[in-house]
Every structure is written in structure tokens, then in C-alpha cells.
Amino acid sequence: MVQRQLPNPVELLELMKFKKPELDGRKRRLDAALTIDDLRLIAKRRTPKAAFDYTDGAAEGELSLTRARQAFQDVEFHPGILRPAPDVDTSVEILGGPSALPFGIAPTGFTRLMQTEGEVAGAGAAAAAGIPFTLSTLGTTSIEGVKAANPHGRNWFQLYVMRDREISYELARRASASGFDTLQFTVDTPVAGARLRDKRNGFSIPPQLTLGTIINAIPRPWWWFDFLTTPKLEFASLSATGGTVGELLDAAMDPTISYDDLAVIRDIWPGKIVIKGVQNVEDSVRLRDEGVDGIVLSNHGGRQLDRAPIPFHLLPEVRRAVGDDFTVMIDTGIMNGADIVAAVALGADFTLIGRAYLYGLMAGGRQGVDRTIAILRSEIERTMRLLGVSSLAELEPGHVTQLTRLVPVARAAAEARTH
């Protein structure tokens, strides 16, 4: 028989401790976010549809983005046992300098549209975390403004070669003069991708009021208050060049970009230069032979060519082709620290996060970006411990199997014939 007794209030108090309520609404909602997907849901609730969809969406059927995210989910890890890893080292040397984590913040355009703190929040959070921050040519904070927000950290600049080449050259010179140490020369935007969510939303920069946007804004007054009471939303680094937003966007896309432009930019830029938007093995090898400092395997977050190659699937083959001494970075589809660990294991020297950063920004400004970095850091450290590795250098291809859903028809037929 179970012995019964009257509850002892003292013993009950020892078992039940009431959590102190958090009165700061922003901190409360960010603390409740345990994953990047959680931040995305908060961002969706707090941001007008057109601005959220601009961030969240991709080109056409959004297959490139969906497949890139799925590729990271289709990973099988192979942990080692009885390999204590009580302390893990997540730091890495990348492009001649340190990073406390194996990821940096990718370049994003129109960033103050998502939340008014914009690139200043991103650069400040990157500085606090000891990771690089990348400013876009189409950023809404100036080169000098980002330097002021991250005066002692690592700042990188992403460059589009514009139709008026002198605009691009001057931007490169300004970034160099401000102490930016790496240039991301972007090559996957000869024309703009068809981003259908934006067209359906009637998206524009700056946002234009319609009946739909007003109705959508009613439950989000804080966004409009920030938007209407802070400096004008514009391309900060291009504001002196003149022209409408549409004209500047059109000028940023140039189908005539070539290796000749790369040669000119290399003459102008004194620091490290990496080519962003590489999508096949042949181009990777040629760029290595051209003597650039590295490449970023990227399909522009799925925002340009739909059905583009999946960077994470391409990674192992590129690493084998270019060798171990050439810097290979990767972006597109990263939503978890485990994605970053898998990429490093398969040969990436570094990774870049775009949407994950913007979800945090929309969810809570600078504090939201800090939360994004904290979530990814925790996931990286936990995954490393569970794999039994103490440093990123210990990660190797044997720790990861890429489970394939999309197999080329020719390869599938060849495999079938061998069985």
C-alpha cells in the first residue's frame, strides 16, 4: 500500500519555484525563441507583409531556396563515442583575420526596410560576437556608418558592378579607405530574378500606401512609427549618384559583366577579394587559377535563377577540385548551427547567414540579431560536442553523409545498370 500524507507546504515550495515574470516585452519574446524558425514566426507577426515577403521570398517557384534548405535537413551525422569534448573551440581564421564563429553576416539590401535599426544593428551585433559583417552595395546604411557601428571589428563590402562603372569603383575605394578588409565581388546578378511575391504585393522602395498595406499595417503600428519617424529609407552608399530607386536597381544589374571587370576591380581593391555567386566546379577552378582569395558558393539565396544548383550539394566536389589551400565559403539555406557544422565538415572554410540574421532583426532589432547569433552559437557548440569534436579543425567528411533526394537522371540510370 502507498503511504498517504497531507501535503507539506514547505516541501511543495521546494519542488515548485515560480519564474519571475519578464516585464520587457521584447526580451520576453526573444528569450522564447529557441530556433531561427521561431524568430521567423515572430518576424512575420511584427512586420508588414510586403517587407516580410521581400526577405522571406525567393525567385519564381522558390525551388532553389526550398531545395537548399532541404539539403541541409537531409544530413546524417556520424558521431564518435568516448571522445570527451567538454570545451569546444568555434573560432576560425578566415581571409587573413579571426572570427569567433564559423559564420559571418551576409550582405542584404534594403535592410532598414525590415527594421529601422538595419545594418547598424547587424554590424554592432557582429562586433559584439567577434564575427565579420558584410555591407551590400544596396545597403541602407553608408560605408562610413557601418564603420562607425563596428569600428574595431571586421567589415566586408559586397560589390555589384554597375552600368556606370565609376560608381562601383568609387564604392570600392570608399570601403577600402574605411578599413573594410574583404570585397565580395558578386557575379550572379546579370539581371534581376523574378521575385513573384514582391510583384503580387506591389512591393516598392520606399513602401507605397495602398488600401491593402494600410489594412495590413493596422496590427503593426510599431513598424510604421519607426518607418515614419526615422531617416529616409534610401540606398545610403548610392544616395549621391542620383536617379530613382528603380533606376539605381536597374543600374546595379549588368549583363555585360566579365572577367575584364574582375581584373579592374582587383587593381583597385588592395585587400582580400572573393567571388560571390559561384555555382559550378569549372568556374571555381578557374577563379582559383586567376588568383582570387576565395569564392562563395551561392545561388543568391534562391533569389535569382530558380532551379539553380544547391551550394551545399556542390561543396564536396568543389573542395576536391580546388584543393585544401583555397578559401571556399558557402551560403543559402542556413537555418541551424548544425547546417554550419555540416558545411565545415564537408570542406567549407566559412559560411554566411542572410535571412537568419534578418529574421532576428525583424523580431527585435539589435537584440534580435544578438539572439540569432546566440542560437546559432549554441547549436554549433552542441552539435560539435555530440559529434565528439573539440575544434572545427577536427571536423571531416566522415562526420557527414548527404542524403540525396534529387539524383540526376543520367547518374541514376548508370547506377541502375551497375546493379
Beta bridge partners of 26: none
| Measured distance CA(189)–CA(255) in Å, rounded | 8
Cis geometry, peptide bond prior to residue 397 (ω within 30 degrees of 0): no
Contacts of the segment 71-75: beta carbons below 8 A, 24+ positions apart = 71/310, 71/312, 71/313, 71/333, 71/402, 72/312, 72/333, 72/334, 72/335, 72/336, 72/338, 72/339, 72/342, 74/402, 74/403, 74/404, 74/405, 75/338, 75/339, 75/342, 75/400, 75/401, 75/402, 75/403
The sign one gets for the Cα dihedral 177, 178, 183, 185 is negative
* Cα atoms in the Cβ-side hemisphere of radius 13 Å centred on 287: 27
* Cα atoms in the Cβ-side hemisphere of radius 13 Å centred on 227: 21
**β 75-77/400-402 pair status:** antiparallel
| Measured distance CA(215)–CA(206) in Å, rounded | 18
| 70, 165, 191, 270 from 160: Cα distances, Å | 29, 10, 11, 17
Q: Find the catalytic residue in 300, 313, 399, 419.
A: 300
| Measured distance CA(146)–CA(158) in Å, rounded | 13
| Measured distance CA(331)–CA(325) in Å, rounded | 20
**Residue 300 among the catalytic residues:** yes
| Measured distance CA(103)–CA(132) in Å, rounded | 8
Contacts of the segment 165-170: beta carbons below 8 A, 24+ positions apart = 165/261, 165/264, 167/238, 167/241, 167/251, 168/137, 168/265, 169/264, 169/265, 169/268
Q: Which residue has the cell 503580387?
A: 200
Residue whose C-alpha is closest to residue 113's, from 212, 210, 234: 234
**β 133-135/155-159 pair status:** parallel
| Measured distance CA(89)–CA(126) in Å, rounded | 18
| Measured distance CA(5)–CA(16) in Å, rounded | 18
Question: Which are the catalytic amino acids?
Answer: 300
